[in-house]
Amino acid sequence: MRGSMLTPLRPLGLLLSLLALVALLAQPSSAIPAVTRRGKYLYEGNNRFYIKGVAYQEPAPIAASTQANEENGGFPEPDSFTDPLALPDACSRDVANFRDLGINTIRVYSVNSSLNHDACMSTFSNAGIYVILDLALPLNGSINRAQPSWDVGLLDLYAKTIDVFTGYDNVLAFNIANEVVTQASNSVAAPFIKAAVRDVKAYLRSKNSNVLVSYSSTDGPSGRTQWRDMLAYYLTCGSAATSVDLYGLNSYSWCGNSSYAASGYNTLTNDFDSLPVPAYLAEFGCVEGVGTNNRPWTEVSALYSTPMTNQFSGGVAFSYFPQPSGLDYGLVSVSGDTVTRRSDWNDLKR
Residues forming the active site: 179, 283
Running DSSP on this structure, what letter comes out for residue 276?
S
* CA 72 from centroid of its chain's CA atoms: 26
- Short-list 198, 52, 71, CA closest to 127: 52
- Burial state string for 118-141 with b = 16 or more CB within 10 A and e = fewer than 16: eebbbbbbebbbbbbbbbbbbeee
AA identity, residue 281: L
Residue 262 half-sphere exposure toward CB, CA atoms < 13 A:
8
List the beta bridge partners of residue 319: none
User: Residue 156: phi, psi to the nearest 5?
Assistant: -60, -40
Quick one: which H or E segment has residue 154? helix 152-165
Please give the C-alpha separations between residue 55 and each of 160, 244, 281, in angstroms, as whole numbers. Answer: 22, 21, 11
Q: Is the dihedral of CA 75, 245, 221, 226 positive or negative?
A: positive
Residues with Cβ < 8 Å from 63, sequence gap 6 or more?
76, 77, 78, 79, 138, 139
